Amino acid sequence: MCGIVGLIGHWAPELLGQLNQSLYHRGPDDGGEYRDQQGGVALAMRRLSILDLSGGHQPMSNHDGSVWIVFNGEIYNAPELRSRLEAKGVHFKTSHSDTECLLHLYEAYGEAMLAELNGMFAFVIYDRERKQIFGARDRFGIKPLYYTQTANHFAFASELKTLLQLPTVERHLNLQSLYHYLSLRYIPGADSIFKGIQRLPPAHSFRYRLEPQDFTIERYWQPDPSPTETHSIAEWSEMIRHELRGAVKRWALSDVPIGCSLSGGIDSTAIVGLLAEAGYERLSTYSLGFQKAEEADWNELPLARQMAERWGTQHYELLLTPDDLLRDLVRMVWSLDEPYGGGLPSWYIFQFMSRDVKVGLTGTGGDELFGNYGKWCHYENRLSRLGHPLHSMRDRIKRSASHLPELLLGADRKKRWLEYYRTFRFPMDAYFLYFSDATKRRYLSEVSGITDTADWLQTLYQTSGATEIRNGTALVDLQTQLPEEFLLMTDRFSMAHSLEARVPFLDAQLVDRVLSIPTSLRTHPNDLKYLLKQAVSDLLPAPLLTARKRGFIIPDTLWLRDKLRPLVERLLAPDRLARQGILRPEIYSRFVQPHLSGKADYTGQVWTLLMFQLWHVVFIEQASVEAPSFSWQDLV
């Protein structure tokens, strides 16, 4: 795992080293630089050594130095790809470096190499003979890649905070991104929170030609929204078990010890069970919980403990308190790069794991493959209430996909899929749109030229190509919440502690197989993961199969009114909001005051606002270029 950075154009000579140093936490084991003065290209990286510990130094070149690469991630089918290349006569200098495998794949297939890769990656290749830069991000956005360009300069990096050190970048808020953040508690899409800095979207590649200066982006993969294979539930269950076993084996590839994040959910426990079944000895598992009685609804330690006992893992538990959160909150905001209003416990799990191991497997991605948190259930329930049996609806869709808008939207064209995109599986009712578009337009100081988040998501749904509500919901999530909430948080929090977090459920081969299952079989309204459970039930203690979904979150409703209250009152005070000029001061009386007094529950709204204000202090008011030294007490 690494941090990568590159500069194209004429920059101050010392800048590359400065930017590379900002990524030290992503790779404390090794570092390197490459400069082509004539071509105006400079590449650098920091390395966390996981595979081929002695032979994977970067930047790495091919045999004649005409092609150079910096690479962040792991290619889990690299052994197979290496064998194929060797059969073609390719000679490797390293024993088993996946970085060198990427170099030779590029030489053999060019940009078509991306179709061969199974793993998590963000890499950039400099081809001196073609005078171009070629880069790509993995299918699901597991690994990040930011870039910025002007008429004469181009730069990229693994983290946004690195690019903020460039003299060409100014810290101006992208109000469209802020608008989406207030809707979703994360920022979706290609735009970052700052004007002039973009993200390369998942499953996309870019090409930057040096002469003439030309930048283009292409999508190289997208999921198939129309499953066609037909098998029985028993057959599908067996296939899932087979593919998941293969994925876990591939993603456990490492020359250093690995550990597993273990909650009381199906996804992480399935990974632990499959690793234990495969014979991984002295497997370490790590779980987080809460100690107070009123926090019991968030506590999964008893379930995780049962799984650890079932397989005899070396199990470690950590109890989280409000004081822990307050101690690390500013560091979390710095590590995240962008405003984020979701849950924070993963910070402590990765911190906990990093004391013992460099690699940690997690269950991220399982929810997106099997049920999407039930976000589509309200829509299907509505159809049932209106007298449209689901099987009848599916038959009508298969007969006439051209009438999909009428089938999905109903007679009233103003009724949108989005209005029913919600979950009842968590404490909150609506799983997003914490501030409605009408609310944001009322309380944001400037909204001219802004696209409503609801309209933006609706467009993604309508252009997904899906012919069923469940597939359409999954395809939207694969482009939004999965990469830019869950995977962004996973990457930043794990790399802040120099830990490589791996997500076997997003194995390319496994995902292709799962998405080929008809949605009516893949998930069920009353038991979203029933098919996955059937595939791994013999590996898990019985109570885990019937436990309710909790979500890996903190009890922020309680904490906002207690330990965090002084911070809320300070950062969301009306006079501060007035001076800031972004949010209207009335938002305090509308949401903050009623929540703190206990007259209403606006947990989602207040937490979203608080996390934005903390981010604003760190990245705008303090204009930090290194990890802040101040604490939350200094802010209060």
Q: Give the catalytic positions in this structure.
A: 2
Residue 355 tokens read as: 């004391």
CA–CA gap between residue 172 and residue 446 (Å, rounded) = 14
Sorted by sequence, the CB contacts under 8 Å of residue 351 that are 6+ apart come out as: 497
The amino acid at residue 506 is L
- Inter-residue contact 181 to 27 (CB < 8 Å): no
Residue 287 pairs with which residues in a beta bridge?
317
Query: What's phi and psi for 231, nearest 5 deg?
Result: -145, 165
Q: Was 452 annotated as part of a binding site?
A: no
Sorted by sequence, the CB contacts under 8 Å of residue 584 that are 6+ apart come out as: 442, 443, 444, 445, 577
CA–CA gap between residue 125 and residue 43 (Å, rounded) = 9
CA–CA gap between residue 44 and residue 10 (Å, rounded) = 16
Q: DSSP class of residue 344?
A: -
Sorted by sequence, the CB contacts under 8 Å of residue 176 that are 6+ apart come out as: 191, 449, 450, 451
Beta-strand runs (E) in 38-193: 41-47, 60-61, 67-75, 119-127, 132-137, 146-149, 154-157
Residue 33 pairs with which residues in a beta bridge?
44
Cα torsion angle, 145, 148, 154, 160, sign: negative
Residue length, the chain?
Answer: 636
Per DSSP, the residues of 248-289 read HHHHT--SS-EEEE--SSHHHHHHHHHHHHTT-TT-EEEEEE
C-alpha distances out from residue 185 to 65, 401, 410, 484, 611, Å = 45, 34, 29, 10, 9
Residue for token digits 């300070």? 570
- Inter-residue contact 522 to 511 (CB < 8 Å): no
- Inter-residue contact 261 to 349 (CB < 8 Å): yes
C-alpha distances out from residue 22 to 107, 154, 228, 468, 624, Å = 31, 18, 48, 45, 12
Sorted by sequence, the CB contacts under 8 Å of residue 550 that are 6+ apart come out as: 264, 265, 297, 298, 300
Residue 208 tokens read as: 């930057």
Binding residues for L-glutamine: 98
Binding residues: 98
